[in-house]
């Protein structure tokens, strides 16, 4: 044995560490299961493998993701097989730490983790096999009041969702974990239901259970290639090729982890995934450790996993080793641990748990893991190949999310949709351009890794991958001192400052020989937003922008919004089916409506304008048949486009959808004086008769700096903030000129810029929705108060579910809550009615016109009975904020301008 001195502590390192790379048969975690228990088929020289000639679904990869997927498919009656290149758990699953934590700052994550844990707890009864689940609890350690506030927020949403947890003092924490130094931290969050799972035992139990339902796993069965045909709809899966023959199928699920990109790149598809080395060390026997809970010390970026009488220590360092590829035969191999990378975890671990420093290191585990730009898995249908699904990129959390995500991907394949709102996991949260941008992927994945244990703030912004996509007004925004935010690769203005605060080139947080920026005005401004128990330092500044909109007029740069054209011989038929509203309106009419899934959930909310064929300009296209102009939110733009495109393919409509987002800028002017200001540069009358609310027309804008120049634009009279307002949709080449002309003529009326922080506050105050927050695929329009978007005549996707809800009533409904106390709310806070939990805040803002915090939440009874108006109105409501409940006023609709007069221009 070698010995290594760290902080005057002798750390033993086994001599096996000098092997590069090594097979870990000597240190592989022992399991009570043997290979005889595995319900798999393997090839041998004596008995060549016989694969089935066809299957409904082929799952590629025998790790946690693949085995869970096979189990959930087979359990639901799907003829599914799993093909593993080597042995089950090979690759990344076998060396995982296997930790399962239940509390995260996202309700969907919590539900997925709860589903994973529930499955683990019932799997032994179902299979007769121990899945290796140990419920020893989990503790989060806090070293600062801000971190403790974050844990209190997690506790509130945990309580609302039924996750047992306790906020502890250091002395109380020491009773749970006696080896800790109570002087080394200020508090903790304890979740008794957390635990750890053995990967080999789990995968054995899963494949055994799957076999009972007809599923089968094949070891030593590598997939050489995807078999793809080209149809009039595009590339389509028809099978897979293996050394043991081809298997016909129409659906393939890629669960290959760090190898997730390899099979698909040759077929023109790509994934935003990068392999990195990820490590932990296993201590010698430490007396008193057995049975203690696992620890996460987010501030020191370390975790303790209790393994018998030893502690496994790992974490997320600022300088992880990025890999280009991982060899195909790296089945049970490991890398040597680079102590220059790993050392960062040791000092904090020893401060927190002094006895840990008195014992040596028995073994080290450093293997490849797959990481993504936002530290979330890559799931759902491929962007290019029909019939190909992905379930990979788990960022070393595959054991935690495997069960929940395996179930969701199975439902995705069977029903066409998961039953949870999986946008945060859906591959389509990224554009195809992002999926191919290797530098962007590397930067973003590095930052997400390095910040994995950082505090999660609502308005935090990435420093990596910036300026990936710039709209036509980008330079104008910077010239006006916009503080820029990033959404789906686009830069957009958050708010406007007195001085510039520009995003600097990514410095990799000082790693890999880069120097950390000594002075970053952008980061200084950003720090002002990183709050839990006080308002942002920019609260009043954003309020000035919001109130200028309510009282005067402002300009919003909405250029990154999704802009699509639906056209073709059957475009009208397609629009009638895809959208719930009546799109058979007069030419130039603009309608707000939704695209639903089969369960009535909202996949997208859009405005859609019926057009006549035009000049061929980008904003006025020529087309055969009917044409529609569709505008939707920018943060989910590619998802919206994909949803419409896939439905056109599925229904074989003779129609197409084109994305023109990058070709058209959007200048929105909103507020009581918007009509008077805009009228000065457009050559049409802005009367209610000529352009009524929710309509569009073509017009020209005068260049006030050059009287001989005028520009063709599309004008929409719509509002996302509840005021009289208009949007100019302008070809990108003269968008900046139109913007400057508008600001010039508006100067005498104090026209000013406003950013998205004000925009979202205003829209929430009005009661408008923000998709993926208070309007998601698990919400129906009726539940969301959008029944007016669902026509009662004619068929459309999801109508059967809507009709059923209309007949049976609603078991959940959206309500609006306001607080009289001037305290910040951020979302996820628990909501109580008559002292019982009924939901959590989906969306939370400050209503500057009302002068109080305002939030949207969905109320649901504990007995799941119908919720009527009386039930809502007769309750007494409270919001749990950092462990203290505050009385809230409840409304069926937002109390701001409930009659909707302002959007009509009625201000008297």
495-525 pLDDT tens trace = 999 999 999 999 999 999 999 999 999 999 9
Residue among 374, 30, 7 nearest 200 (CA): 30
pLDDT (mean) for 412-433: 97
Q: What is the pLDDT of residue 49?
A: 86
Indicate the CATH number of 768-891 among 3.40.50.620, 3.40.640.10, 2.40.30.110, 2.40.37.10.
2.40.30.110
Q: What is the pLDDT of residue 43?
A: 54
Question: What is the DSSP annotation of 600-648?
Answer: S-EEEEEEEEEE---SSBTTB---SBEEEEEEE-STTHHHHHHHHHHHH
d(Cα 525, Cα 520) in Å, to the nearest integer?
9
d(Cα 313, Cα 331) in Å, to the nearest integer?
23
Which residues on adjacent β-strands are paired with residue 20? none
Confidence bin at 37 (pLDDT 50/70/90): very low
CATH superfamily of domain region 562-659: Aminomethyltransferase beta-barrel domains (3.30.70.1400)
Confidence bin at 11 (pLDDT 50/70/90): very low
Tell me the two tokens of residue 215: 């599923």
Tell me the two tokens of residue 571: 């475009």
In the predicted structure, residue 33 carries a pLDDT above the cut 60: no
Distances (CA, A) of 347 to 45, 313, 321, 352: 52, 12, 20, 9
d(Cα 220, Cα 243) in Å, to the nearest integer?
10
pLDDT (mean) for 729-749: 98
Which CATH fold topology does 664-750 show?
Gyrase A; domain 2 (3.30.1360)
Tell if the pTM clears 0.75, that is, is over it.
yes
Query: Is-contact 388 378, C-beta < 8 A?
Result: no
Q: Which strands, in side-by-side order, build the sheet including 138-142?
A: 166-168, 187-191, 138-142, 294-297, 302-307, 310-315, 274-283, 361-371
Q: What is the pLDDT of residues 635-688, one digit of tens each?
A: 999 999 999 999 999 999 999 999 999 999 999 999 999 999 999 999 999 999
pLDDT (mean) for 41-69: 86
d(Cα 411, Cα 382) in Å, to the nearest integer?
16
pLDDT (mean) for 411-416: 97
Which CATH fold topology does 136-184+275-371 show?
D-Amino Acid Oxidase; Chain A, domain 2 (3.30.9)
Phi, psi of 269 (to 5 degrees): -110, 170
pLDDT (mean) for 713-728: 98
Between vectors from CA 104 to CA 99 and to CA 109, what angle results, nearest 5°? 90
Asked if domains 136-184+275-371 and 562-659 share a fold, the reply is no
Burial (Cβ within 10 Å: 0-12, 13-18, ≥19) of residue 516: exposed
Residue of 232 and 600 predicted with greater confidence: 600
Residue-range domain boundaries for the chain: 136-184+275-371, 562-659, 664-750, 768-891
d(Cα 493, Cα 251) in Å, to the nearest integer?
42
Q: What is the pLDDT of residues 244-296, one digit of tens each?
A: 999 999 999 999 999 999 999 999 999 999 999 999 999 999 999 999 999 99
- The chain-wide mean pLDDT, for the chain, equals 94
Q: What is the pLDDT of residues 583-629, one digit of tens each?
A: 999 999 999 999 999 999 999 999 999 999 999 999 999 999 899 99
CB atoms within 10 A of CB 690: 12
Q: Where are the beta strands (DSSP E) in 827-874?
A: 830-833, 836-847, 852-860
Q: What is the pLDDT of residue 40?
A: 58
């Amino acid at each position: 044995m070698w010995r290594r001195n760290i902080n005057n502590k002798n750390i033993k390192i086994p001599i096996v560490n000098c092997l590069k790379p090594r097979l870990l048969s000597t240190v592989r975690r022992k399991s009570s299961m043997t290979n005889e228990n595995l319900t798999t088929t393997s090839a041998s020289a004596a008995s060549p493998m016989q694969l089935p000639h066809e299957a409904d679904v082929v799952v590629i990869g025998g790790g946690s993701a693949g085995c869970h997927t096979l189990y959930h498919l087979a359990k639901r009656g799907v003829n599914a097989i799993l093909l593993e290149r080597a042995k089950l758990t090979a690759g990344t699953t076998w060396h995982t730490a296997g930790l399962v934590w239940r509390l995260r700052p996202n309700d969907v994550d919590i539900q997925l983790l709860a589903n994973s844990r529930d499955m683990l707890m019932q799997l032994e009864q179902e299979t007769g096999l121990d899945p290796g689940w140990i419920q020893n609890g989990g503790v989060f350690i806090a070293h600062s009041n801000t971190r403790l506030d974050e844990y209190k927020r997690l506790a509130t949403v945990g309580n609302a969702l039924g996750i047992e947890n306790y906020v502890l003092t250091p002395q109380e924490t020491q009773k749970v974990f006696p080896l800790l130094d109570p002087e080394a931290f200020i508090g903790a969050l304890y979740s008794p239901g957390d635990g750890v799972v053995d990967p080999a035992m789990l995968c054995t139990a899963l494949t055994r259970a799957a076999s009972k339902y007809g599923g089968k796993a094949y070891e030593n069965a590598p997939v050489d290639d995807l078999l793809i045909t080209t149809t009039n709809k595009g590339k389509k899966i028809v099978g897979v090729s293996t050394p043991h023959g081809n298997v016909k199928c129409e659906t393939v699920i890629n669960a290959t982890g760090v190898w997730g990109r390899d099979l698909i790149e040759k077929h023109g598809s790509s994934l935003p995934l990068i392999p990195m080395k990820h490590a932990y060390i296993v201590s010698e026997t430490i007396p008193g450790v057995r049975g203690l809970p696992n620890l996460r010390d987010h501030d020191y970026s370390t975790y303790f996993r209790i393994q018998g009488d030893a502690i496994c220590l790992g974490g997320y360092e600022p300088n992880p080793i990025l890999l280009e590829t991982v060899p195909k035969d790296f089945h049970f191999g490991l890398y040597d641990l680079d102590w220059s990378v790993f050392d960062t975890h040791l000092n904090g671990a020893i401060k927190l748990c002094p006895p840990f420093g008195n014992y040596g290191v028995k073994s080290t585990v450093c293997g490849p893991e797959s990481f993504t730009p936002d530290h979330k898995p890559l799931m759902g249908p491929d962007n290019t190949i029909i019939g190909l699904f992905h379930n990979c990129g788990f960022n070393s959390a595959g054991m935690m999310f495997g069960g929940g995500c395996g179930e969701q991907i199975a439902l995705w394949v069977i029903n066409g949709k998961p039953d949870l709102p999986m946008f945060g996991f859906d591959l389509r949260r990224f554009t195809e351009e992002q999926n191919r941008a290797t530098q962007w992927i590397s930067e973003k994945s590095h930052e997400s890794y390095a910040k994995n244990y950082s505090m999660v703030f609502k308005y935090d912004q990435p420093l990596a991958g910036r300026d990936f996509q710039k709209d036509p007004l980008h330079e104008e925004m910077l010239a006006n001192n916009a503080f820029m935010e990033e959404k789906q690769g686009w830069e957009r203005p958050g708010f406007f400052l007195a001085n510039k605060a520009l995003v600097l080139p990514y410095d990799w947080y000082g790693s890999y020989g880069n120097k950390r920026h000594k002075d970053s005005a952008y980061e200084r401004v950003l720090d002002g937003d990183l709050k839990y128990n006080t308002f942002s330092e920019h609260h009043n500044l954003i309020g000035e922008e919001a109130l200028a909109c309510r009282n005067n007029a402002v300009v919003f740069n909405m250029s990154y919004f999704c802009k699509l054209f639906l056209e073709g011989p059957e475009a009208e038929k397609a629009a009638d089916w895809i959208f719930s509203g009546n799109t058979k309106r007069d030419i130039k009419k603009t309608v707000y409506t939704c695209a639903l899934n089969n369960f009535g959930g909202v996949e997208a909310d859009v405005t859609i304008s019926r057009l006549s064929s035009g000049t061929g300009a980008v904003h006025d296209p020529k087309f055969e048949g009917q044409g529609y102009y569709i505008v939707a939110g920018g943060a989910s733009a590619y998802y919206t486009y994909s949803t419409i495109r896939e439905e056109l393919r599925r229904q074989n409509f003779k129609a197409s959808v084109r994305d023109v987002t990058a070709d058209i800028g959007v200048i929105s002017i909103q507020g009581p004086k918007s009509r008077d200001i805009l009228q000065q540069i457009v050559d049409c009358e802005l009367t209610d008769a000529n352009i009524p609310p929710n309509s569009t027309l073509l017009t020209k804008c005068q260049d006030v700096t050059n009287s001989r120049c005028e520009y063709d634009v599309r004008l929409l009279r719509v509002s996302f903030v509840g005021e009289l307002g208009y949007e100019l949709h302008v070809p990108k080449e003269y968008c900046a000129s139109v913007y400057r002309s508008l600001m010039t003529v508006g100067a005498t009326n104090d026209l000013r810029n406003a950013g998205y922080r004000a925009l979202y506050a205003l829209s929430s105050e009005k009661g408008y929705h923000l998709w993926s927050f208070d309007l998601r695929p698990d919400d129906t329009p009726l539940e969301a108060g959008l029944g007016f978007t669902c026509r009662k005549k004619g068929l459309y996707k999801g109508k059967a579910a809507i009709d059923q809800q209309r007949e049976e009533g609603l078991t959940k409904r959206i309500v609006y809550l306001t607080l009289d106390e001037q305290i910040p709310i951020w979302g996820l806070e628990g909501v109580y009615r008559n002292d019982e939990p009924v939901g959590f805040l989906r969306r939370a803002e400050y209503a500057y016109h009302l002068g109080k915090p305002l939030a949207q939440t969905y109320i649901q009874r504990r007995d799941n009975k119908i919720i009527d108006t009386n039930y809502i109105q007769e309750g007494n409501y409270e919001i749990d904020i950092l462990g203290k409940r505050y009385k809230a006023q409840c409304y069926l609709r937002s109390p701001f301008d409930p009659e909707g007069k302002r959007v009509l221009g009625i201000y008297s």
